[in-house]
Amino acid sequence: MSLLGLVIWVRWPLEILSFAFAISPFLSAVFTWHSLPRRIPVLFGDGRGQARYGSRAQVWILPVLALVVYGFMSQASGTWVGLLHLDRDLPSGAVIPLLLKPVVGVIMAYANEMLIRIARQQAEGVNGWLLWGLMLLLFAPPFALSMVAR
């Protein structure tokens, strides 16, 4: 099976996974809204705690951003056209956005979950190693594709 055939075979499971990661920050904000304090930390300093606080309404920024990013990446990966059955083939250049979409969703979900946990004083800060590890995952799909293309 060719690489493109493999990507087409895992396309819809990846789309379902990506959608789940895209809506998870929204669901997390909905279910924790009642337990959030009125003021939440929204900017973090250089390891010495929170640098700025804001309204708890700011907890909706990341969920909205996650859905917008998912929408744009779905356009680039041909999801909307595929859902409407207008074209079963992947558009040119759709492989990388399709493979990056779940990774971006995980990063957004993790950032939102940590913001909520810090606001509820269940955590002191973001695990930097985990966050940087997730960020490095962004390089995995393009790197893997370049290795397979050789």
Q: What is the 3-state secondary structure (H, E, C) of 51-76?
A: EEEEEHHHHHHHHHHHHHHHHHHHHH
Domain annotation covers residue 67: yes
Domain annotation covers residue 135: yes
pLDDT number for residue 45:
57
Q: 41 versus 85: which is more confidently predicted?
A: 41
First-residue to last-residue Cα distance in the chain: 16
Give the three-state DSSP class for 80: helix
Domain annotation covers residue 51: no
Beta-ladder partners of 75? none
Residues 6+ apart with CB under 8 A from 32: 59, 116, 120
The total number of structural domains in the chain stands at 1
What domain range is 120 assigned to? 12-33+56-148
Query: Rounded CA gap, 136 and 47, in Å?
Result: 21
Domain annotation covers residue 79: yes
pLDDT at 95 over 60: yes
Query: Rounded CA gap, 106 and 135, in Å?
Result: 10
pLDDT at 138 over 80: yes
Residue 97: pLDDT band with limits 50, 70, 90: confident
Rounded to 5 degrees, φ, ψ at 51 are -100, -25
Task: For 44-60, write each residue's pLDDT tens digit.
Answer: 655 555 567 888 898 99
pLDDT number for residue 98:
86
Q: 59 versus 41: which is more confidently predicted?
A: 59
pLDDT number for residue 135:
86
Give the three-state DSSP class for 50: strand
CB 70 within 8 A of CB 22: yes
